[in-house]
Amino acid sequence: MSRRRAATGLRPARLRPADLYRLGGTGLRTRPLRVFLSALGIAIGVAAMVAVVGISSSSRAEVDRRLDSLGTNMLRIAAAETADGTPSRLPEESVSMVQRVGPVQRVAAIGVIEDAAVYRNEHMPAGRTSSVQVAAAGTRLLPAVGANVRTGRWLAEATEEYPAVVLGSEAARRLDVHTPGTRLWLGKKWFSLVGVLDPVPLAPEIDGSALVGWETARTYLRFDGHPSTVYVRADDDRVTAVRGVLAATANPRAPSEVTVSRPSDALAAREATESALTGLLLGLGGVALLVGGVGVGNTMVISVLERRPEIGLRRALGATRGQIRGQFVAESLLLSALGGLGGTVLGTVVTAGYAATRGWPTEVPMWAAVAGIAVTLLIGAVAGLYPALRAGRLPPTEALAGV
């Protein structure tokens, strides 16, 4: 063959990349349904990967937004168990002692009242408390924990003179009480509901609590005045230093019986857990993408078998094996690119829809979209390689034999 070309001085025509992909596009347009189904397999895999990364990124953006609004400078003091395993108690003076620490900005506390329960009315059975705990709270609790009142108002000094209660968001849901002015049977006395709180991410124990004023609890519920949890806000750059002295400050006699935590660390730990789950879901998306790649390879193999006459005719007209191989690789790449682009758009739409239902900001990293398309092109090239080699090795006489 090379001697014949040398004798005639002819060289095979070269196909430019644009011509190659025009041929590939023509091959795809002749089988639209099969192309759609194959591209759909790729698109589902890419959409799964993009949506998983996008939802995870949107979740992290929401956590960061909430932490920015709530602040990461809150510390939580609680009583731990004693050496013999019995529960300990914080001193009544713990709030005032912690307040003396220089970098501390705000201090507030709640005190759980163990022998008090809240019911919708006095006819409810004694054991059906709906798992709502009753706790005394100071008037400065809301800014310390970053809480907001959903309906009604918060406890004030004026409410200390009569029985008033504020429900956390979860407590209101369990009792099915949301309207201020409703009367609740609390501690075998009628209390008036004055407000309902929004969820408190940094202090979830408040969500399931019925909160009464500190002095109200002493007067009507025989509260002993010992706080069960103390919330501290410190200067942002001194949080670690303050954390180191809080145990000894809150309970000088038994610092080992005090635990000091940082609620924002719990949110960060939850984010790490979600990241591990994201890795698992990305693996599932990768499996779906691999299945889509197998579908592309199957489509291209069938295409070679169906287009043997076309391959033989092109070879008879002077097309080289390399050009035949290039045509089928181009078709495979175009098919994968269609699936990759469609999957990226679909994954972005799914992320935006899910984020909108949760009230999150929508965030799809650019690297996820680029990586999704790049991976599909790589899979398309690998999936189309064997059919392309098979088409290139097909002799013209054998290919034209079925015409």
Residue 382: predicted pLDDT:
80
- Mean pLDDT on 159-175: 90
If you compute the radius of gyration of the chain from its CA atoms, what whole number of angstroms results?
35
Most confident of the ranges 53-57, 168-172, 256-260, 395-399: 168-172
Instruction: Look at residue 329 and tell me whether its pLDDT is greater than 90.
Output: no
Residue 2: predicted pLDDT:
46
- Cα–Cα distance measured from residue 368 to residue 273, given in angstroms and rounded to the nearest whole number: 20
Greater model confidence, 250 or 282? 250
Residue 293: predicted pLDDT:
66
The four Cα atoms 186, 189, 195, 196 give a dihedral, to 10 degrees, of 10
Q: Are 369 and 348 spatial neighbours (Cβ–Cβ below 8 Å)?
A: yes
Instruction: Look at residue 137 and tell me whether its pLDDT is greater than 80.
Output: yes
- Cα–Cα distance measured from residue 385 to residue 63, given in angstroms and rounded to the nearest whole number: 45
Largest CA distance in the chain: 115
**3-class DSSP state for residue 314?**
helix
| DSSP secondary structure of 225-250 | ---SEEEEEE-GGGHHHHHHHHHHHH
**3-class DSSP state for residue 194?**
strand
Q: Are 285 and 48 spatial neighbours (Cβ–Cβ below 8 Å)?
A: yes
Residue with structure tokens 């108002």?
Answer: 153
Q: Are 276 and 269 spatial neighbours (Cβ–Cβ below 8 Å)?
A: no
Instruction: Please write the tens of the pLDDT for every residue from 82-135.
Output: 767 677 889 999 999 999 998 999 999 999 998 899 998 888 877 677 789 999
Residue 212: predicted pLDDT:
95
- Cα–Cα distance measured from residue 324 to residue 300, given in angstroms and rounded to the nearest whole number: 13
Q: Of 213-217, 272-276, 352-356, 380-384, which gets the smallest average pLDDT?
A: 272-276
Most confident of the ranges 60-64, 282-286, 303-307: 60-64
Instruction: Please write the tens of the pLDDT for every residue from 203-254.
Output: 889 999 999 999 999 999 999 999 999 999 988 788 888 888 999 999 998 8
Greater model confidence, 24 or 224? 224
Instruction: Look at residue 22 and tell me whether its pLDDT is greater than 70.
Output: yes
Residue 1: predicted pLDDT:
45
Instruction: Look at residue 318 and tell me whether its pLDDT is greater than 80.
Output: no
Instruction: Look at residue 52 and tell me whether its pLDDT is greater than 60.
Output: yes
Confidence class for position 280, pLDDT limits 50, 70, 90: low
Residue 305: predicted pLDDT:
66
Of the candidates 389, 354, 374, 387, the one whose C-alpha atom is nearest the C-alpha of residue 289 is: 374
Instruction: Look at residue 141 and tell me whether its pLDDT is greater than 60.
Output: yes
- The pLDDT mean for the chain works out to 80
Q: Of 136-145, 308-317, 359-368, 375-384, which gets the smallest average pLDDT?
A: 308-317
Instruction: Look at residue 312 and tell me whether its pLDDT is greater than 90.
Output: no
Alpha helices (H) along 30-145 = 32-70, 94-99, 141-145
Q: Of 95-104, 112-121, 377-386, 392-401, which gets the smallest average pLDDT?
A: 392-401
Confidence class for position 7, pLDDT limits 50, 70, 90: very low
Q: Are 177 and 167 spatial neighbours (Cβ–Cβ below 8 Å)?
A: yes
| Angle value at C-alpha 288, between 286 and 294, nearest 5 degrees | 105
Enumerate the domain spans of the chain: 15-67+268-400, 75-262
